[in-house]
Amino acid sequence: MTRLVRLGCTAGVLAALVLGAAASPVFALPAPAGYDLLGADGGVFAFGTPFFGSTASDPTRCPPNTTDRTRPNGTCLSLASTPDGGGYWILDGSTLQIFAYGDAGFYGQPADTYSGVAREFVPTGVSVVATPSGRGYWVLQLPLSGAGKVSAFGDAGFMGDTTGLATAGEPTGMAATPDGRGYWLAFSDGGVFAFGDATFAGSMAGKPINAPMVGIAGSPGGGYWTVGGDGGVFSFGGAPFLGSMARQPLASPVVAIAAG
């Protein structure tokens, strides 16, 4: 499973930290020994991992925000590494384009679906999540309805999404099961939706929370964690509670969670 941490840095420049994906027990791929930082302008900073390029070298790929898409500092805010650490994908949340680097294969992108569609009807990209094999990915999107729309590419299977459902919040995160045959969607109101072989183990929907939920991560032992913008962590199913940053001073809000 891709291990993704998106950071709201004080300077507002670095928007994502992607750790090397853990080895899948199905494909027995080696775990990378480092991590990559993704800037909102599409710049990639590699630490202990090979550098394969970035969208910052082409200003047309991750341009500054336009007034109709309110994202801080830039439009590329999600990156997923391949399971073997030999490449990565960058998602432009504004245009829904996918940019592949290294051994990451290009398997399609939501942008092609909306070619010729009026801008106001094009969803905003929220997250890209790699499959365990690295031969596909899912893209979570936020359409006008506010529901979570999932598009599957390559060997990623579509198991459903919340299109057409009445949701109290907006989609903020996605996590795949270890075998890639299911996934969870997290919503800002604390709601969690499970699809495929992902098991619903509870959520914070309808319960008092101090900050909107911003992400979800699957636990290797079963279950999952969700996290709020204040750093509060909630564990469900077999996911153990190991602490949180709730009520602790933060330089900037927490925006995602990743399994270690």
Identify the domain containing residue 101 by its residue range.
3-180
Number of structural domains the chain divides into: 1
Task: Report residue 237 as tokens.
Answer: 């199913």
Residues 207-259 have pLDDT tens digits of 999 999 988 888 888 899 998 888 889 999 989 998 888 888 877 677 677 77
pTM for this one?
0.77
For residue 27, pLDDT beyond 90: no
Burial class (CB in 10 A: 0-12, 13-18, 19+), 221: exposed
Q: Quote the CA–CA distance of 55 and 43 in Å, as a whole number.
A: 6
Residue 234 placed within a domain:
no
Task: Report residue 143 as tokens.
Answer: 């359409």
Residue 107 or 37, more confident? 107
Instruction: Please report the beta strands in 155-252, taking only residues with DSSP state E, as ranges in sequence order.
Output: 171-176, 182-187, 192-196, 213-218, 224-228, 233-236
For residue 30, pLDDT beyond 80: no
Q: List Cβ neighbours of 17 (8 Å cut-off, separation of 6 or more).
A: 4, 5, 6, 7, 35, 36, 37, 38
Residue 151 placed within a domain:
yes
> Do the beta carbons of residue 71 and residue 94 sit within 8 Å?
yes
Residue 134 or 26, more confident? 134
Residue 193 placed within a domain:
no
Distances (CA, A) of 30 to 1, 39, 144, 248, 256: 13, 26, 40, 36, 25
Q: Quote the CA–CA distance of 27 and 48 in Å, as a whole number.
A: 23
Q: Quote the CA–CA distance of 21 and 40 in Å, as a whole number.
A: 21
**What confidence score (pLDDT) does residue 4 get?**
38
For residue 13, pLDDT beyond 50: no
Long-range contacts of 243-246 (CB under 8 A, 24+ apart): 246/210
Residue 66 or 249, more confident? 249
Residue 98 placed within a domain:
yes
Q: Quote the CA–CA distance of 73 and 66 in Å, as a whole number.
A: 10
